Structure 1
Amino acid sequence: MKQDAARNAAYAVDCEDYVHVVEFNPFESGDSGNLIAYGGNNYVVVGTCTFQEEEADIEGIRYKTLRTFHHGVRVDGIAWSPETRLDSLPPVIKFCTSAADMKIRLFTSDLQDKNEYKVLEGHSDFINGLVFDPKEGQEIASVSDDHTCRYGTNLSFKTISFYFSVLQLMVAEKNGTIRFYDLLAQQAILSLESEQMPLMSAHWCLKNTFKVGAVAGNDWLIWDITRSSYPQDKRPVHMDRAYLFRWSTINENLFATTGYPGKMASQFQIHHLGHPQVMWNCFVAYAVFLICVLDFSTHSPQI
């Protein structure tokens, strides 16, 4: 890993090919909270990031590749399973991907001899997002431009024409509506309205589940689902359309947005709800994997 001052990033990892998607493991069980995966044109790389706050002899970040998985087609999305554990014997690496061929692949590995994947089919158009059941990790929900959300297990993939998953599932639609669905009732239980289009990305805050964030048009928007179906706060964020919204997994007031990818790069910004100004701003090139290290006590990037 090396510093890359020219790109204004904390650290950069050299990759052999284009990087289309990057996902940290959001689950902390089993010493696996520092796992990261990124996908390219025909591969997925799984590695670990160890931060200087975790080990005193590290300056900044230490990155280590654990395994490269052949994928065979462009990777568009990655979702981690809560069953992933690095402290078990043998370790368990489990994640799924969405791909350009409109299929989902479920990968399971012990980082030794066992490296398996299964193909789940059902969607007839581009897959916009996918997620594991965060409790047991046995089911996968995915949403697509074919106007369906589909529900799968490790052994099968069921074609379902309505949106649901274990307990509750949040589904964001490009027409500006965010809906919450319940498994037992098999129907919508709540909806939020952005009144802006296209709504490109939405994210449920893990630190405060009453909060939902999204980007639509050129703005970011924040809802308190206990107060109103309309945003409590919104601000312009990217000149050429906003593309992605993600909450911090540590601080409920901290989140990041990206602009719509252009020919060379897209804009990446870090925001704090208690500050009117953007906390950090840089441009991210397609072919470079960037890791931004946040000091959540000061809410500022650390290099």
Structure 2
Amino acid sequence: MKQDASRNAAYTLDCEDYVHVVEFNPFETGDSGNLIAYSGNNYVIIGTCTFQEEEADVEGIQYKTLQTFHHGVRVDGIAWSPETRLDSLPPIIKFCTSAADLKIRLFTSDLQDKNEYKVLEGHSYFINGLVFDPKGGQGIASVSDDHTCKIWTLEGVQTSHFILHSPGMSVCWHPEETFKLMVADNGTIRFYDLVAQQAILSLESEQVPLMSAHWCLKHTFKVGSVAENDWLIWDITRSSYPQTKSPVHMDRAGLFRWSTISENLSATTDYPGKMASQFQIYHLGHSQPILMGSKVCSLRRSYH
């Protein structure tokens, strides 16, 4: 890992291929909070990032590759399992991927001799989002351009199947609401009761295409999304329409994510396809972004 002297990135990591997806592990259990996964055209690399704020003897940031998983086809999405632990003997690495061949692959490794994966098949078009059950990690939810949301066991059995009105863009499973699932399609965000197997609440964006939506991990009433070039925020206790709306990108926005440590911080990116993609970080108490940056990117169909 080396420091970049430009304003656009504090540190860069040299890769041998295009990087399609990057995901930090959102779970803090088992000393695994500093895990990162990123993918090239046909592999996934698992590593650790240690920051100076975490360990005083680290200068800036320290990166270490733990394992390379050969994938065989382009990776479009990565989701971490809460079962991942680095402090167990042996360690447990578990994650799943969505790929260009419309399949989900579930990888399990002990970073030694055990390196396995299972294939989950059932979607008939591109998979735009996937997530693990955040409590036990025994289920996987996915949404696709085939207008479905599916929930799978780790053995690949479908336990739920929801028909959407348009392509599924995002899916979120909240650790404090494990019997509910948030699903965003091209213009509406719906919450499903997994016991009753039906929608119980919907939020309207009034704009299409809705490209990405995310359920705030630090506040169960907050939902954010991007549609067209706008940033939209809901408080689901107040209205089914967004309370905050503001332009965030000159062209279409592509991705919205809440911070995992603060209910007031979020980030957005441009729609993929531009050679110089812009990201912005927002604080709900400020009308303007508190940080902006850009990075030259490879062309991709979708952003996860």
Fold conserved between structures, TM > 0.5: yes
Is 2:153–2:159's contact at 8 Å kept on the other side of the alignment? no
Which of 201, 205, 210 is the equivalent residue of 1:194? 205
1:205 equivalent to 2:216? Answer yes
* Higher RCO (C-alpha 8 Å, min separation 6): 1
User: What does 1:62-211 align with in structure 2 at a 5 Å threshold?
Assistant: 62-158=62-158, 160-162=160-162, 167-174=179-186, 176-211=187-222
In structure 1, what is the Cα distance between the partners aligned to 2:278 and 2:8? 12
Deviation at 1:162, TM superposition (A): 1.2
- Unmatched tracts of structure 2, length 5 or more: 164-170, 299-304
Deviation at 1:7, TM superposition (A): 5.9
Q: Which residue of 2 aligns with 1:23?
A: 23
In structure 1, what is the Cα distance between the partners aligned to 2:255 and 2:119? 27
The DSSP-based 3-state class of the residue aligned with 1:30 is: helix
The DSSP-based 3-state class of the residue aligned with 2:6 is: helix
In structure 1, what is the Cα distance between the partners aligned to 2:51 and 2:118? 33
In structure 2, what is the Cα distance between the partners aligned to 1:262 and 1:77? 17
Partner deviation per Cα, 1:149-184 (whole Å, 9 max, x = no partner):
11111112327541698511100011x100000111
Partner deviation per Cα, 1:98-147 (whole Å, 9 max, x = no partner):
00000000000000000000100000000010000001101101000000
Deviation at 1:53, TM superposition (A): 1.4
Q: What amino acid sits opposite 1:192 in the alignment? A: L
Deviation at 1:54, TM superposition (A): 1.3
In structure 1, what is the Cα distance between the partners aligned to 2:47 and 2:211? 28
Q: Which residue of 1 aligns with 2:243?
A: 232
In structure 1, what is the Cα distance between the partners aligned to 2:196 and 2:101? 32
Is 1:122–1:157's contact at 8 Å kept on the other side of the alignment? no
Q: What amino acid sits opposite 2:278 in the alignment? A: Q
Number of matched pairs: 286
Q: Which residue of 1 aligns with 2:36?
A: 36
The DSSP-based 3-state class of the residue aligned with 1:282 is: strand
Q: What amino acid sits opposite 2:26 in the alignment? A: P
Q: What amino acid sits opposite 1:26 in the alignment? A: P
Deviation at 1:265, TM superposition (A): 2.4
Q: Which residue of 2 aligns with 1:280?
A: 291
Matched-pair identity in % = 80
Q: What amino acid sits opposite 1:51 in the alignment? A: F
Deviation at 1:3, TM superposition (A): 1.3
Is 1:122–1:159's contact at 8 Å kept on the other side of the alignment? no
Deviation at 1:5, TM superposition (A): 2.6
Q: What amino acid sits opposite 2:197 in the alignment? A: Q
1:255 equivalent to 2:258? Answer no
Q: Which residue of 1 aligns with 2:48?
A: 48
In structure 2, what is the Cα distance between the partners aligned to 1:157 and 1:10? 43
Q: TM-score, normalised by structure 1?
A: 0.92
